Amino acid sequence: MLTLCPECSQGVSDQALFCPHCGYPLKKSSSENKKHPKLPSRFGQISKINNPNLQKPYRVMISVKSATSNRSRTVPLKPVSYFKTYHEAFAALVEYNRNPDGYVNTYVTFEELYKSWLSRQADMSTSLRHRIQSAWNYSSGLYTYPVVSIKIKTLRSYIENCKAPLSIKPVMKQLYNQLFDFAIEDDIIDKNPARSFVLNKNIKKQINENKKIHIPFSDVEMTILWSNIHKNWVIDMILVQCYSGWRPTELCELKTENIDFKSGIMIGGMKTKAGKNRIVPIHDRILKIIQYYYDPNSSYLFTHKGKQISYDLYREHFLHVMEGLKFNINHKPHDGRVQFVTCAKKYDMNEYAIKYIVGHNISDLTERVYTRRSIEWLKNEIAKLP
């Protein structure tokens, strides 16, 4: 015989222990020791913890979908997971099933948020992706935190006290800004805690103090580099940089398909409008290095163990090479670019040729807009370097 559920007013058998539509308990068992009926699929779980010291032994678990996939996982009901009686636990589970959306976002972890955000960043440049990955690697202490539980003081303290290099800490702050903006868009949180504070002034001060002036390589150092050609991939990349003016990241991202031996040029660049897709002539002195590393089956000219070289990897090996060769300890990965510009001016390379090659903005309207420079002109100018 059918009767109406007092909770949802749906038809239900008068023999049912609970409503199959809303889960409302219709009949109470004679005692707590009586076996309880099996709960509907995806309704949740109630289990009794066999511990005599527990005043509330009944634990409620619910099933929530992952933020990054369609898979589900079982987690404790929040904010209260344990109850004194089975019926109290069941009532809480019924309440949860009335509005499960209000609970799901409680279980999205910081790592799940990052993966979901990253999957939607298809247009991110390779160099930026490397920097973001570095910042994320230093954020491991926050991976398992529920997003809704991360507060302003948590983020500020973590950035200030983690062991990340000073140069990475601003990147971490920028990453957190974007992650929590994304969390707001996905209705996980209402306010962005990362945008509610600024980096400690001491961190910014230390970053500025640690910025050292770039210096060119001395004649002795250049001789040593040439005497070690092909002995270390970093040394070869430095030499190419010294005769082309590429930024370190641009050199790491230089694609094989953009090496044109017939025309004697390389095409690459990034960062600014003037720097993107610029033409750089291949100087005769580095032609053999480029030919040595050129592999038509590889996407990038320079690789390490078959993979693209990131700036962080290049910087790490660069510093090892400087130490091994006993060079000036103040050398930085950009110094090959400084060497190119310094040498170019020393040997009277045309000012605009230098700017075209290194990708600097040309303020002169006539030169920038109305003057057309040929590849041969650029090649003749770069050939002035000895």
3-state secondary structure the chain: CEEECCCCCCEEECCCCECCCCCCECCCCCCCCCCCCCCCCCCCEEEECCCCCCCCCEEEEEEEECCCCCCEEEEECCCCCEECCHHHHHHHHHHHHHCCHHHHHHHCEHHHHHHHHHCCCCCCCHHHHHHHHHHHHCCHHHCCCEHHHCCHHHHHHHHHHCCCCCCCHHHHHHHHHHHHHHHHHCCCCCCCCHHHCCCCHHHHHHHHHHCCCCCCCCHHHHHHHHHCCCCCHHHHHHHHHHCCCCCHHHHHCCEHHHEECCCCEEEECCCCCCCCCEEEECCHHHHHHHHHHCCCCCCECCEECCEECCHHHHHHHHHHHHHHCCCCCCCCCCHHHHHHHHHHHHCCCCHHHHHHHHCCCCCCHHHHHHCCCCHHHHHHHHCCCC
Task: Assess whether 377 and 242 both reside in one domain.
Answer: yes
Task: Assess whether 264 and 319 both reside in one domain.
Answer: yes
**Domain span at 177:** 110-210
At residue 318, the pLDDT reads 93
Question: Which of the two residues, 321 and 31, has the higher pLDDT score?
Answer: 321
Percentage of the residues of the chain whose pLDDT score is greater than 90: 42
Q: Is pLDDT at 272 greater than 60 in this prediction?
A: no
When pLDDT is averaged across residues 154-163 and rounded to a whole number, the result is 90
At residue 69, the pLDDT reads 57
Query: Considering its fold, how many domains does the chain have in total?
Result: 3
The band of 242, judged by pLDDT with boundaries at 50, 70 and 90, is: very high
Decide: 166 and 125 in contact? Cβ < 8 Å.
no
Task: Assess whether 362 and 238 both reside in one domain.
Answer: yes
Of 86, 103, 120, the residue at which a domain comes to its end is 103
Q: Is pLDDT at 218 greater than 60 in this prediction?
A: yes
When pLDDT is averaged across residues 17-40 and rounded to a whole number, the result is 67
Q: Is pLDDT at 384 greater than 80 in this prediction?
A: yes
At residue 246, the pLDDT reads 93
Cβ of 361: how many Cβ atoms within 10 Å? 10
Task: Assess whether 167 and 237 both reside in one domain.
Answer: no
The band of 32, judged by pLDDT with boundaries at 50, 70 and 90, is: very low
At residue 273, the pLDDT reads 57
Residue 285, CB-side half-sphere exposure with 13 Å CA sphere: 18
Quick one: which of 147, 204, 206, 205 has its CA closest to 176? 147
Mean pLDDT of the chain: 85
Task: Assess whether 134 and 82 both reside in one domain.
Answer: no
Q: Computed over its alpha carbons, how large is the radius of gyration of the chain?
A: 32
Task: Assess whether 268 and 343 both reside in one domain.
Answer: yes
CA pair distance 93, 44, nearest whole angstrom: 7
When pLDDT is averaged across residues 271-299 and rounded to a whole number, the result is 86
Residue 214: C-alpha distances to residues 181, 218, 314, 332 (Å): 36, 13, 17, 7
Task: Assess whether 306 and 226 both reside in one domain.
Answer: yes
Decide: 20 and 44 in contact? Cβ < 8 Å.
no
Question: Which of the two residues, 371 and 187, has the higher pLDDT score?
Answer: 187
The band of 101, judged by pLDDT with boundaries at 50, 70 and 90, is: low
At residue 210, the pLDDT reads 61
Angle CA 357–321–208, to nearest 5: 65
Q: Is pLDDT at 42 greater than 90 in this prediction?
A: no
Specify the range with the lowest mean pLDDT, choosing from 165-174, 183-192, 273-282, 327-336: 273-282
Calculate helix-pair angle for 311-324, 233-242, nearest 10 degrees. 100
Task: Assess whether 237 and 368 both reside in one domain.
Answer: yes
At residue 29, the pLDDT reads 47
pLDDT tens-digit profile of 191-209? 999 999 988 877 777 766 6
Q: Is pLDDT at 68 greater than 60 in this prediction?
A: no
At residue 31, the pLDDT reads 45
The band of 33, judged by pLDDT with boundaries at 50, 70 and 90, is: very low
CATH code at position 154:
1.10.150
Specify the range with the lowest mean pLDDT, choosing from 7-16, 52-61, 252-261: 7-16
When pLDDT is averaged across residues 12-41 and rounded to a whole number, the result is 70
At residue 229, the pLDDT reads 95
Question: Which of the two residues, 264 and 166, has the higher pLDDT score?
Answer: 264
Task: Assess whether 264 and 323 both reside in one domain.
Answer: yes
At residue 340, the pLDDT reads 95
Task: Assess whether 287 and 378 both reside in one domain.
Answer: yes
Of 103, 125, 157, the residue at which a domain comes to its end is 103
Task: Assess whether 226 and 299 both reside in one domain.
Answer: yes
> Which residues fall within 8 angstroms of residue 196, CB to CB, at 6 or more apart?
152
At residue 114, the pLDDT reads 94
Question: Which of the two residues, 20 and 375, has the higher pLDDT score?
Answer: 375
CA pair distance 183, 190, nearest whole angstrom: 8
Of 161, 184, 210, the residue at which a domain comes to its end is 210
Task: Assess whether 240 and 114 both reside in one domain.
Answer: no
When pLDDT is averaged across residues 327-332 and rounded to a whole number, the result is 89
Quick one: which of 344, 358, 349, 336 has its CA closest to 240? 336
CATH code at position 309:
1.10.443.10
